[in-house]
Amino acid sequence: MSLLIPDELYAECPQAALLGLVQPGFGPGPVERVRYGLPGVAEIESLAPVAAATAAGTLAGVLVLHEAWQPPLKETERFLGELRRLIGERTPITILLIGRPTATTVLTPVAPEALLVWTRKMQALGDPWLDVRPLVQP
């Protein structure tokens, strides 16, 4: 399993807490954290570990951490399209949403209306192997 973490969240995400939230929903297997969206680096280059796991036949799925309060834009759709082409049409992609950051953590619950917006927008993409879930349960 690969967990894609945007560059702007990577340093702020407490990695142990993040993995503690991911593991119960996706099993005890190893989760490879991949930092993407680095300035000056093409996203496809950032995804080299995902491409390698795909080529090796070891990629069980991809998790994408995203802030739910930022609505899904065309850029998000483009990224998901690139990711889908990279990993194949039947590898599961799960978008793990977090809410607005607080002074103490970025790992916060998602507002119900933001979850609804994301769910509807991702369903509109028509990808049966794409799912949206809140990372932090209220």
pLDDT in tens, 125-136: 999 999 999 999
Q: Are 87 and 56 in contact (CB under 8 A)?
A: no
pLDDT confidence of residue 29: 76
Domain ranges for the chain: 2-70+79-108+118-134
pTM score of the predicted model: 0.94
Specify the fold of 2-70+79-108+118-134. Rossmann fold (3.40.50)
pLDDT in tens, 82-138: 999 999 999 999 999 999 999 999 999 999 999 999 999 999 999 999 999 999 987
The SS3 of residue 5 is: strand
Rounded to the nearest angstrom, the gap between the alpha carbon of residue 80 and the centroid of all alpha carbons in its chain is: 10
Cross-strand pairs, 62: 2, 93
Q: Are 83 and 93 in contact (CB under 8 A)?
A: yes
Region of 88 (left: φ > 0; alpha: ψ -120 to 50; beta: rest) is: left
